[in-house]
Amino acid sequence: MAPTVLTPAKPEVPARTDDLGPGGGSNGGHRFGDDGSGGYGGHAWSVPARAYRTGMWMALAAIVMLFAAFTSALVVRKGISNDWVRTALPNILWLNTAVLLLSSLTFELARRAFDAGGDLWVVRGTRWLYLTLGLGVAFIAGQLVAWRELAARGVYLATNPSSSFFYLLTAAHGIHLLGGIVALGYAAIIVRKIAAEPRKRIVVDLTALYWHFMDGLWVYLLILLTVRL
């Protein structure tokens, strides 16, 4: 069954009577000022929902560039040196990966519940969100366990170049995921408190986008660590 993707309704392009052509975003689509959530400014102008989407994609592009820089550093550092020592990956990483993949699934279940609408479904969806959040925290805890395991083996940040990269990449990913956990907590609160559909939806959708991206990024990093470390 195809997953139900919760995107804001397509921006409605107003019927044009002149030759103005497609102008900017504030011609159509959802705007938070119009959504009846109340108290947000006294006039019609507001930020279209797709600006938030664009902003999130741009943030993800910057994160891609950061990890691309780290990846090229790893490839070059390994390629030119004669001091490279393989760091065996702690086994718990596979469990962590499963936890994180599962969290993406529970996030989608939450979104499907919100999509169904109705108060009961909001309660259910929120539960899925909290479960997702719990799985995210579990993943971070699992990563810390992996660090402890390496430390117990006497492998620290500066022990050898491959361990430096292991700590660097897992830490950089973990910090980004912590940001996602904060956003997820905010989303879980906001879906209960605010009735306004478009705003709630954009918060949940963009957090989901970020969350799935962090999930995919981790799979990429795991492959990189397995193949190149």
Partner 1 sequence: MPEAHAETAHQHHAPTKFIWKYIFSLDHKVIGKQYYFLALFSVVVGMILSWLMRIHLVWPNAKLYGLDLLSPAGAPGGVMTPEYYLSLMTLHGTIMIFFVLTTAPQSGFGNYFLPIQIGAEDMAFPRLNMLSFWTTFVALMVLLSTFFVTDGPPISGWTGYPPLSAVGSSAGPGEGLGQTLWVISIAIFCIGSLLGALNFIATTLDLRTKGMKLMRLPLTCWAWFVTAVLGLLSFAVLFGACALLLLDRVGGTSFFIPGGLIVSDKIMPHSGGSPLLYQHLFWFFGHPEVYIAILPGMGVTSHIISCFARKPIFGYRAMAYSLMAIGFLSFTVWGHHMFLSGMSPYSAFSFSLFTMAIGVPSAIKTFNWLGTLWGGKIRFTSAMLFSIGFVSLFVTGGLSGIFLAQPQLDPMLHATYFVVAHFHMVMGVAAIFGMFAGTYFWFPKMFGRMMNETWGKVHFWTTFIGVYCVFMPMHFIGVEGAIRRYSTWTDNYLIPMIPVHEFMTIAALFTGAVQFIFLINVFWSMFKGEKATDNPWKGTSLEWTVPSPPPFDNFAGKHPVVYHGPYEYGVPGKDKDYVMQDSPEKIEDDE
Q: What is the spatial distance between Cα 40 and Cα 170, in angstroms, rounded to a whole number?
A: 40
Best CA proximity match to 160, nearest among 219, 78, 224:
78
Q: Does 20 bind partner 1 (CB under 8 A)?
A: yes
Q: Which residues does 160 contact at the CB level (< 8 Å), separation at least 6? A: 83, 84, 85, 87
CB nearer to partner 1: give 51 or 105: 51
Between the CA of residue 69 and those of 28, 63, 142, 177, what are the distances in Å?
A: 38, 10, 26, 19
| SS3 assignment, position 178 | helix
Q: Does 121 bind partner 1 (CB under 8 A)?
A: no
Taking residues 51 to 90 in sequence order and writing x for each that binds partner 1 by CB under 8 A, - otherwise, the string is: xx-xxx-xx-xxxxxx-xxx-xx--xx--xxxxx------
Interacting stretch for partner 1, rule CB under 8 A, among 36-44, 114-122, 139-147, 215-223?
A: 36-44
Residues near partner 1 (CB under 8 A)? 19-27, 31-33, 40-48, 50-52, 54-56, 58-59, 61-66, 68-70, 72-73, 76-77, 80-84, 157-158, 161, 164, 168, 172, 179, 182-183, 186-187, 190, 199, 202-203, 206-207, 210
